[in-house]
Amino acid sequence: MKRILSGIQPTGRLHLGNYFGMMKPALEQQGQGDLFLFIADYHALTSVPDPDQLRSDIHSVAVDFLACGLDPGKTTFYRQSDIPEVTELSWLLSVVTPMGLLERCHSYKDKIARGIPPSQGLFSYPVLMAADILAMRSDAVPVGRDQKQHLEVTRDIAGRFNLRYGQVFVIPEPDIRDEVAVVPGIDGQKMSKSYNNTIEIFADPDEIRRKVMRIVTDSTPVEAPKDPGRCSLFALFRLFADEDEHQELAARYRAGGVAYSAVKKELASRIVDYFAPFRRKREELLANPDYVQAVLAEGARKARSEAQKTLKAARKAVGLES
């Protein structure tokens, strides 16, 4: 059975970009493979310096995943920091990782440009990510096209290690999903907390409506034809519409007579309705924190068992064990 791995950083409230870009595609694979999902709390340390905030965000992400349909019986769900083997493995990988490979990573440059203080942790982020993936011997890693470079770095590092020490690591394959690779924010850029342009999936319904009404559109008159392919509002609406509904709206766009305000109101209603059952489940989970922690503990037990096997093989390969 194919092993699939994906992770998400606990850096605030989850938004539509997180849900459609990572959560929904990952949860749809439950039962289709050996699915490992983890909360990347070590990675979050590069951008969340407040300990109380980090603890809160970790719990919130765990609750959100369970509320949105994560089944602990079908998925190994765990916190990255509960798997100490990953950090040791990242060191073993770092000794075969060329500086030039890391210097070419655009994520480091992008984060520095957005004002995140440069640090060794931020710079070597791809090595820890490689350890996350390789420790679980993952066959496939779902990523957006904008994140493909991260997986290419992992493949490069694993290949270099295998070339030097023998066939220790499985070389993972990217699972690129173009249709959900980039979810636009209310300003038209990629939806991201860094850009302050998000629509949170568990925000108060009134807050969701306010944010949707702020989605940036062009100044094309109501009666004029519009290009759905260049409209971020249309792209968001499509996420909540079936094929017939999105084709119908596309035809109305091209014919003219569509008011952006009407589309925004319909989109807001669809977002609120879509997440309503998840919101109810989330309230139940917030009232039962012991259950959430028990799920993470069991997931960590399973994940550690896998990581220990990988680390043992890597340690033996480099000469740290007989």
The Cα 11–Cα 292 span in angstroms is 18
- The residue among 155, 92, 153 whose CA lies nearest residue 307 is 92
For residues 151 and 174, the answer to whether their CB atoms sit within 8 Å is yes
- The residue among 56, 25, 21, 24 whose CA lies nearest residue 41 is 56
Indicate if 316 belongs to the active site. no
- The structure tokens listed for 192 are 């991201």
Helix (H) or strand (E) holding 296: helix 289-318
- The residue among 22, 17, 28 whose CA lies nearest residue 7 is 22
Helix (H) or strand (E) holding 34: strand 34-39
From the CB of residue 199, how many other CB atoms can be counted at a distance below 10 Å? Answer: 24
DSSP per-residue string spanning 201-234: TTS-HHHHHHHHHT-------TTS---GGG-HHH
Catalytic-labelled residue, pool 74, 190, 281, 302: 190
Three-class SS of 157-168: HHHHHHHHHCCC
Catalytic-labelled residue, pool 193, 211, 226, 264: 193
Indicate if 24 belongs to the active site. no
Indicate if 193 belongs to the active site. yes
| Residues known to be catalytic | 111, 190, 193
